[in-house]
Structure formats: C-alpha cells, structure tokens
Structure 1
Amino acid sequence: MLKERAGFIKKANIVCDAALIVVSFVISFDLRVKLGALEELDYYAWVLLVAVPVWIYLLERFGFYASQRMSSFRKLLLSLFKVTAIGGMITSSFIFLLDPQGFSRGFYLTFLALSFVILAAEQLLVRFVLRLLRLEGYNYRNILLVGTGGSALRIVNLIENNKGWGLHLVGFVRTDAPPTTREVLGYPVMGDLSHLVEVCKAHPVDEVIFCDTREECKSQMAECIAELHLMGITTRTVLNLYYEFDCHKELGMLHDEVPLLTFHPICLDLNQLFYKRCLDIAGASLGLCFSAALFPFIAIALKLESPGPLFFGQTRVRENGRTFTCWKFRSMFLDAEERKKDLMHLNEMSGAIFKIKDDPRVTRVGAFLRKTSLDELPQFWNVLKGEMSLVGTRPPTPAEVHGYENWQRKRICMKPGITGLWQVSGRNRITNFDDVVRLDLEYIDSWSLMMDLRLILRTLKVVIFREGAC
C-alpha cells in the first residue's frame, strides 16, 4: 500500500504531459509563423486531437507512468525517442490521409523535435524533485537483502550511489557468510535464513531481495517467500529463482543491471487507488465538518463527567509495521491502561484483541460515544493525513502485532480504515480473532472501489440502527 501515491503521480503526469504536448505544438507554430511559413492556427489545430491521445497512450505503454525509481535516465531518453518516433509516424499517417498537400512538413518536424525536448526536460525535472524529496526522507522503502555475495554487494553499491531512489537498506540476512559475521559494508547482518521472518517482524521491511541463487538455498528461500507473502511483504529475487505462487509476478531490472522477479502479495489497480484516495479526502473533509459541529457538545459532556484530555491518542500499526497515532474522543477513565491487566481474565475475544462487555473503565459519556461510534470521529484527521482510509482493516496495536502468526500479518499490508468488513459483519458476534483476520484478508484479496462504497453504505446503516456497536 505504500505505492498508493503513485496513482496521484500518474494522473498528474498524464495531465502535465498532455499540456506540454499542446505547448510544444503552439511554440512550434509560433516559430514557423515568425519565419513567415504559416498563417492559420485553426488549420493545424486538429492534429492535437490525434497527437495528444497517441502520445499519452504510447507513454503509458512504454512505462512512463509506472515507477521510474530505479530506471536509468539513459533508458528513459531512449524510450521517449521511441515514443516520439512511433507517435510521429502514427500522426503523420492521419495527416497523409486527411491533408497530404497543405500541411507544413517543417512545422511537423519542429513539433516532433520540440515535444521530445520538452518532455525530456519534464522527466529530468520530475526525477530531480523526487530525488530531493527522497533525500529528505520522503517516499522511501525499507529493503532487506538475503545473501552477502556478489549480487548483494552490487545492489548495495547501486543503492549507495543512487540516494535519490529513496531506498533504505535495513541490513542483511546471511546464507553463506560465517556465523561470526556481524556486519557487511557497515550494515548489520541480522541472522541466517532461518531468522528471516522474525527479522521482518522486528523491523519495518517493505521489500526483501533474495540475492543468493545457489541451488541448495532455493528450497528454504521458497518457504521464506511463501511466509513473507502471507505477511504481505513484497519479495524480489535475483533471477534463477522461480517459484509458483498464487500472486502477481513482475519481471524487472534494477538500474538496467540486476534482473529481478517481483512477487506482489496483493495486486491493486493504481487508478482505483487514486479514486480511493479522492474518496478518502472528500469523506474525511465532510467528516471533520460534521465533527466540528458536534465537538462543543461532546467536549462539554466529557469534561463534566471526567477530568482529563478530550482526545485519546494511541500508537497503532499501519502498512508493514509502520506506526502512527490513532485518535479518538476519550471514552475511558484516565487509569484505563493500568486497570487493563486486572481485567484480562474477562476478555471475550480469542487471540490478539482485548474486548469485554460492560467495560468498567468506560465512562457513561464514553459508553454513549462508543454505542453511536462518535468516539471515532477524530480518525477523520488520520484519514486526511493519509495514515488511514475510510475503509480498510482495523488498525492493531504494536502489542497485538507482536503476537500475530505469520499469515495474520498480511492484514497490516494495507492502509487501515475507520470501518471495514469486520465492523459491518456484526463485530459483537465475532469473538474469534482468526475470523476477524479472515474477514480482513477477504477484504484485501477482493478489494475494489465499489466494495468500499458498499461498505460505507453498510456502515451508515450499522451506525444509524446501532447494529453491532460496542
């Protein structure tokens, strides 16, 4: 789910590229007019109706709207040249069919050359801005390398020489290094292959790259990839490692030098993710406006019954082990956490979730807020910040995640939500944690924008009729 912002970048790139193609056209026409070669802009404007969609389609096909994090600029320029050449031939075919005599060839060649230069400059600027952002610590990915041999060292060298990629090396897991090895090139060696899954639990890891291609390692690596897939962690392998998993696979290159096979544990459409984020922003904005209207009444009620802050912030876990502060209106007395250990024997949930009916730590106002779900209104702020979504999986606490089995960790590979499949499926009637996780995984594996819309409507019904609220 860390790639969600790629959907925004793609939409912005498409709009920007279309605008730059139009700018190239206008500048080319203006240059030819100053040379006295052209007179009427309207006569040539129809070409844009062909050129813009053709260029955008070709840019999409050549991967310009996918992540260019680890691609070389030389390869990008070559691809852009191909786009210009193919687009030029397609557009010129229309020109030949519709107006073979009256169309200025000089103008058209100027347009092709200028569009190439301007689009190349745009790509260079985008790469420069993204590089600056990544150097400041934004849009980065945590990488763990399996193996300490030549391929691993080569990848380390590429990462260190290309800080603008935004890749942060967590460390190594050894496959062939002596057990006494504690670090390689200044990065920690965190154990052998048998410790890989535990390392990924202990550290925020977005991707694991398997660099050791020896035959004797393949069986154990296959087991590790299967476990990491259950946990929702993306894996890549230096080629020669091929495994059959029920997941999306992608063949790619690291800086045109190291071939990689990527196993995506979930396959989400970036266009739908873009619309999901738009829905989140719109919904969170409306939710915060609604919250602002109710805030004075909730604040007065809370202060009259119990001293303490109005808001309760708790550390929760989001994508792949990252943490954030999840906000709610305070619904418990101030000593709630201290009293929790004395109430553990009353827990009605099996597994990692703690929940009891008629919790004595909950205030009377808090009970009303919980029953009406008003205590969760501050989470619209988390949604607006991009830490949560309107719809997703329930955000767990770090202590809960610590007790997860491997297959249960997949529920934290997506952005958590205010509501979700569990919340609208009668959460008070579901007391087995494994059943909660299965509902979350069902949501992850079958997610679509329409599913989110249906769950939002079902949530409104649950809140209005107080079905399953605690």
Structure 2
Amino acid sequence: MYGIAFIFILLLYIAIYYAYDTYSRIFKRGFLEELISIIKINCLLAVTLTFSMFVFQEGTAYSRLFFLTFFTLNILINYLARLYFKFFLLAVYKKSGSSSKLMIITTLDKAKEVLDRIRKENDWEYQVTYLTIVDRQLIGDWIEEIPVKANLVNMYEVARQEVVDEVFIYLPNDSSLSIDLDETILEFVNMGVTVNLSINAFGLKVREKIVREISGYYALSFSTRLLKESQKHLKRVMDVAGGIVGCILTLVLIVFLAPAIKLESPGPIFFSQVRVGKNGRRFKIYKFRSMDLDAEKRKEELMNQNEMEGFMFKMKDDPRLTKVGKFMRKTSLDEFPQFFNILKGDMSLVGTRPPTEDEFLRYEGRHKRRLALKCGLTGLWQVSGRSDIQDFEEVVKLDLEYIDNWSFKLDIKILLKTVVVVLFGKGSR
C-alpha cells in the first residue's frame, strides 16, 4: 500500500519540478533562498497529494506520521543534494575537460567588468581560459587571474591552437576600434567555434542563430551547428550504452589478442598516443598495438610514401605493421580499446577521427571546424569508401557534412554501415 503511495508521490514530484523549473536559477540562489525554494515545492506537493487523497477517498488508509516523516526527510535530503550538486558543478565539472572553454574578446577597460560579472553569475557551464584584449598589447599579462594570450592581430591563430569551445565578444558601444565583426564571426564559426556577441546587433549581415543569456549578458550566438541539450544527452546515453558493451568485448578480446601480440613482437599490448579531440582538447587514445615499437620514429622515413594528400598519413602496405597487426587492422579489432575512451567521454561512437598533434598543428583555421563535435570511433567518411579516399580535403568535406546534418538517426545509420563495412573486409588501413 505504501509502495503505491510512494510511486504516486514520485510522479507528482516529477510533474511539479518540470512545471516550476526550479533548477534554472539554482546558481543565483543563496543557502536560505534554496531552502525556501525546496520548502515551497514540498508544500505544493503536500497540498496536491492531500487533494488527490480526498478526491479518491484514501485519506484514512495512510498514516499522517508517515507523510510528515517523508516530507521532513525529503526537504533535508533534497537541500543537501542540491548543495552538493552546486559544489560539484562549480568546483569539479567547471574545471574539467567537459565544461565549455570560453575565450573573451573585449577592451582593457571592460575586461574586469566582464570577468566580475561572470563570476557573480556563478555559471558552471563556462570556464574562461584566456582573454583577447583588442585595444592594447598585453600578451603575457594577467587580468583577474586570467591570462591575456591574444590581441586583434593574432587572435585567430591563438584560437586555432588553443582549446576553445566558445567566444564571447563584448565591445563598448562607444568603441572607436575598427573591427570587421562580420569577418571576425565568420573566422571563428569556420573553425567550429560558437560565437556569442553581446547585443547591440551592430547591423550585421551575418545571420544570427539564437539569442541567449551568457553570464547575465544577452548575446547573439553564431555557430555552424548548435545542438540542443536533449540532443547532447541522447548522444551521450548512446555512447555510454555502446561503451559498456564495447568495453566488455574488449576484455574478451584481450584474452586472445594479448598472447598473439606478445609472441610476435615483445612490448606492450596496448598503444597509446596523444590525439586532439573536440575543439582542440588533448587526450590519450588507446588501441591494441599493431606495429613495431619504433613505428613512430620510422614514420618520418615513410612520409614520402604517404598516399594521402594533405594533413593525414595513410599507407597501404605499411612495413611497420606486424603480421598480427595486419589482421587486426583488416578486421578493425585494433580499435576496440577506444571504447574505454568513449566511456570516459573523450570520444563518441560516431564522429570525426581525431588527428595526431603534429597533424593538428598544421591545420588551417577552417580545418579545425571538423573538431566541433566529439571525435568518434567511426564516422561518415569511414563508411563512404574509407579505403579509397586519398585527399584530406575530401575527408574534411564529409566530416563537415556529418556535423551540419547531425541527427540521432544519422548516427544509427553510420553505426549499421560500419558493421557491414567491417564484416565485408572493407576496413581501414
């Protein structure tokens, strides 16, 4: 009987929380305000529950002490949970690689004002990584503990090299600076970086995507592709589910592949390498080792035999591959340890392939846009004749087509095509 009551309360609780959206201002409320907010919600829940029991004539079936105890504990647990939630997002998540890394473009006299306002708003989504001061030469200086790394001349080059998810432009209305905002926005958007322009609209010709609030400022946001939070969560749920299954399969494969790798070529079973992921984030990628131990040193000697035009290395009969390695490459078994990267959050099941650091450092600004979403284990170009493509620009074209047209349905389609490609031996080299 009490089990039914608990389920009913839970459903009411969810409905009330969705209706009143108490989490939208959670970081703007202090300790007392938070407690009052929770008490209000629980009082509303109690009134709704009492009315429901009266309508269905179930009031005498349940103990008043039970409900009093439930609501008292619920207020206490909810309050402590919210405090911990705030602490986690502000102290842990904000500083992690998952939070949105923000570059601020402003003038010297406005820099402190913008930083103070962002801190006052307690935005957990953003971590300000560096400043671009457009009216002074202050590279190497620090303002409010944030480094100044760029100016009006080199800001695109710095953004190409650094981890940047979003740019926030705040220029005073009376600024005498001669800045072509159309060009500035397009340069960053072409890198796959979201641009937030503090309103005033400046009469721009560039079509704004959305108007949103960023740390108390209303801004126009320009981007090649803005995924909704629900879309991001759906993609992550699929990644976690696929990552768990993939990690289990990887553990099984270790039993069979580890002895074979060791017997042919003494050394580690796994190969790890620093790769460049979403918007320039560095992470270690893992694979079953398919090459000799000196493979990276020998790569320079083989560059003149590279079959790819542009910033990617591919070679059909790579002499660095071991016999076991050739089999793993043909069947794509060497890729399985990347499921641990997916579960960790460095990669996604479907996305663009992560470049090596030396490849990334040679990118032009427009090439960085292919890293606007998380890199993936498989992607559109891998299932579009991945052994046949020999031009890096064609890879970029397919990657951008994937980013611009992303949908959950497209990810499922690519995953199914990947299975077919691997099973019929059209694997990567």
Q: List runs of 5+ in structure 2 lacking aligned partners.
A: 61-67
Residue 299 of structure 1, CA deviation: 2.0
Give the aligned residue type for 2:16: W
From 225, 229, 233, the equivalent of 2:193 is 233
Describe the SS at the equivalent of 1:421. coil
Of residues 9, 17, 22, the one that matches 1:56 is: 17
Which runs of 5 or more residues in structure 1 are unaligned? Answer: 1-39, 104-109
Q: Report the counterpart of residue 212 of structure 2 in structure 1.
A: 251
Identical residues among aligned pairs (%)? 36
In structure 2, the partner of 1:12 is none
Q: What are the Cα deviations for residues 430-463 of structure 1, in whole angstroms up to 9, with x where unaligned?
A: 1111111111111112222222222111111111
Q: What is the Cα deviation at residue 424 of structure 1?
A: 0.8
User: What secondary structure, in the 3-state scheme, does the structure 1 residue paired with 2:406 have?
Assistant: coil
Q: Of residues 294, 309, 317 in structure 2, which corresponds to 1:358?
A: 317
Partner of 1:289: 248
What's 2:414 paired with?
Answer: 455
**Does 1:146 find its partner at 2:120?**
no
- Residue 386 to residue 210, structure 1, CA distance change in 2 (3 Å): same
Equivalenced residue count is: 423
Contact 1:247–1:266 (Cα < 8 Å) also in 2? no
The aligned runs of 1:263-412 (5 Å cut-off) are 263-412=222-371
**1:193, 1:317 → 2: CA distance?**
26
* Counterpart Cα distance in 2 of 1:466 and 1:137: 39
1:462 partner amino acid: V
Change (3 A) 1:118 1:222: farther
Residues 137, 151 of structure 2: 8 Å contact kept: no
Counting only pairs closer than 5 Å after superposition, residues 73-222 of structure 1 correspond to structure 2 as: 73=30, 123-134=82-93, 140-159=99-118, 165=124, 167-177=126-136, 182-185=141-144, 187-214=146-173, 216-217=176-177, 219-222=179-182
Match of 2:370, SS?
helix
The one-letter code sitting in structure 1 at the alignment partner of 2:103 is: L
Which residue is equivalent to 2:387?
A: 428
Q: In the TM superposition, what is the alpha-carbon distance from 1:46 to its structure 2 partner?
A: 11
The change in CA–CA distance for 1:413 and 1:76 in structure 2 (over 3 A counts) is: farther
Q: Which stretch shifts more, 290-299 or 451-460? A: 290-299
Amino acid at match of 2:164: V
Secondary structure, counterpart of 1:193 in structure 2: coil
My pick for the range that moved more, 369-378 or 124-133, is 124-133
For the 8 Å contact 1:249–1:264, the answer to whether it is kept is no
Asked if 1 retains the 8 angstrom alpha-carbon contact of 2:247 and 2:337, the reply is: yes
CA distance, structure 1, for counterparts of residue 208 and residue 32 of structure 2: 28
Deviations 1:95-132 (A, max 9, x none): 7x9699x99xxxxxx9xx98999866654442234334
Q: Normalization by structure 2: what TM-score?
A: 0.81
2:41 & 2:245 partners in 1: Cα distance?
44
Does the C-alpha gap of structure 1 residues 285 and 189 become closer, same or farther in structure 2, counting only changes over 3 Å? closer
Cα separation, 1, equivalents of 2:138 and 2:379 = 45
After superposition, the Cα gap between the structure-2 partners of 1:465 and 1:218, relative to the gap in structure 1 and judged at 3 Å, is farther
Per-residue Cα deviation, 1:281-327 (whole angstroms, up to 9, x for no partner): 22222223223333233222222222222211111111111111111
| Contact kept? 1:143, 1:169, Cα under 8 Å | yes
Q: Deviations over 1:407-441 (max 9, x none)?
A: 22111121111111111111111111111111111
1:397 Cα offset (Å): 1.0
* Greater mean deviation of Cα atoms: 202-211 or 377-386: 202-211
Paired residue for 2:65? none
Calculate the aligned-residue CA RMSD, in Å.
4.2
Q: Does the CA contact (< 8 Å) of 2:103 and 2:129 recur in 1? A: yes
For 2:426 and 2:113, the matched residues in 1 are separated by 57
Q: CA deviation at 1:209?
A: 1.6
SS at match of 1:326: strand
SS at match of 2:190: helix
TM score, norm. by length of structure 1: 0.75
